[in-house]
């Protein structure tokens, strides 16, 4: 798209250029406030707070020194900007990791989606008008999910994905779509684009060879087992005999959909981006 990659907000101690935008995303972030100390505290509420700080500080600095215009966005940029939100998968996967039942996970989704809706309204109240919302992908097709059910194939669908996990993802997506519809109705001067990421990724996982891939679920980076995830990507594990093995990357990574059992490879993400930009997976509101 001939646009620069966005510098992360927390890189602001250096000398980044935020004129074209800012990235508030955080690895492992959830929508809901985390209950596990091992999960990043940079959940969606925190990210929105960081945005508000970024906006206020940018405008303050610009009022003090016009030379900073080459680094910071002007006030009208906050109204003309595109606000992309892609979050929710970690809420689902972490809920299952806490040994919740499917019913318990499904029951938690409305409050999670409500938090996302509140975030959108906060952004709107602070100038946002163009929203680009991704639904969540098939979390049940991630190797880290599938490996837990290898001994019970009845829990897997025809593509080898965990049925209950994808049921939760679909429930989340249905409720998120409804929230986006209501938001668009409530704020007619806003534009909400809802993108069906679940459909794109599911299509790729169901027909990997059709799109130039050989492995749909197996991890490229890792070690051990059918799915290559017994040892995490880039992590060491010492065997009983004292030998240390590492979770290493495969040599043919462009043939894999999954990079490390959680994230997608560059090749898979490129395919997904192409599908998004084609426009067929925009759902009108």
**Residue 150 belongs to a domain:** yes
CATH number of 166's domain: 3.40.50.1110
Let me know how long the chain is: 285
Rounded mean pLDDT for each run of 10 residues along the chain, 285 residues in total: 88 84 94 81 96 97 94 95 97 93 97 98 97 98 96 96 98 98 97 98 98 98 96 90 91 97 98 95 86
Predicted pLDDT at 120 = 98
Tally of structural domains, the chain: 1
Predicted pLDDT at 38 = 67
**Residue 118 belongs to a domain:** yes
**Residue 284 belongs to a domain:** no
DSSP line for the chain: ---PPPPBGGGTTS----TT--B---TT--SSPP-STTS-S--HHHHHHHHHHHHHHHHHHHHH-GGGGGTS--HHHHHHSEEEEE--HHHHHHHHHTT--HHHHHHHHHHHHHHHHHHHHHHHHTT--EEEEE----GGGSHHHHGGGTT-GGGB-TTS-BHHHHHHHHHHHHHHHHHHHHHHHH-TTSEEEEE-HHHHHHHHHH-GGGGT-SEEEEESSBBSTTTT-SB-TT-EEE-TTS-EEE-B--S-GGGEEESSSSSBPHHHHHHHHHHHHHSTTEE--
Q: Look up the pTM and report it.
A: 0.94
**Residue 198 belongs to a domain:** yes
**Residue 196 belongs to a domain:** yes
**Residue 114 belongs to a domain:** yes
Predicted pLDDT at 181 = 97
**Residue 245 belongs to a domain:** no
**Residue 192 belongs to a domain:** yes
CA angle at 170 for the pair 139 and 36, rounded to the nearest 5°: 50
Contacts of 267 (CB under 8 A, 6+ apart): 212, 213, 253, 254, 255, 256
Predicted pLDDT at 34 = 81
Q: What residues make up the domain containing 124?
A: 81-207
């Amino acid at each position: 798209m001939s646009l620069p990659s966005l510098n992360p907000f927390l890189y602001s101690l250096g000398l980044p250029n935020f004129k074209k935008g800012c990235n508030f995303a955080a690895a492992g972030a959830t929508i809901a406030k985390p209950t596990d100390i091992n999960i990043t505290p940079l959940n969606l509420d925190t990210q929105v707070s960081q945005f508000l700080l970024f906006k206020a500080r940018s405008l303050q600095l610009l009022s003090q020194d016009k030379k900073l215009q080459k680094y910071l966005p002007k006030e009208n940029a906050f109204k003309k900007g595109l606000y992309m939100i892609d979050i929710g998968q970690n809420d689902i996967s972490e809920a299952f990791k806490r040994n919740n039942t499917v019913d318990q996970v499904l029951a938690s989704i409305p409050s999670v989606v409500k938090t996302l809706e509140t975030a959108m309204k906060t952004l709107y109240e602070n100038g946002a008008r163009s929203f680009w919302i991704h639904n969540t992908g098939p979390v049940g097709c991630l190797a880290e999910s599938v490996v837990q059910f290898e001994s019970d194939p009845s829990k897997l669908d025809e593509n080898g994905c965990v049925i209950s996990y994808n049921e939760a993802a679909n429930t989340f997506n249905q409720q998120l779509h409804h929230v986006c519809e209501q938001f668009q109705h409530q704020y007619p001067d806003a534009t909400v684009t809802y993108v069906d990421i679940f459909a794109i990724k599911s299509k790729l996982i169901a027909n990997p060879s059709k799109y130039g891939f050989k492995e749909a679920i197996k991890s490229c980076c890792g070690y051990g087992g059918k799915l290559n995830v017994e040892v995490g990507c880039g992590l060491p594990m010492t065997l009983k005999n004292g030998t240390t093995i590492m979770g290493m990357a495969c040599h043919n990574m462009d043939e894999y959909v999954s990079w490390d059992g959680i994230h997608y490879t560059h090749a898979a993400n490129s395919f997904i981006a192409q599908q998004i930009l084609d426009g067929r997976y925009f759902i009108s509101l």
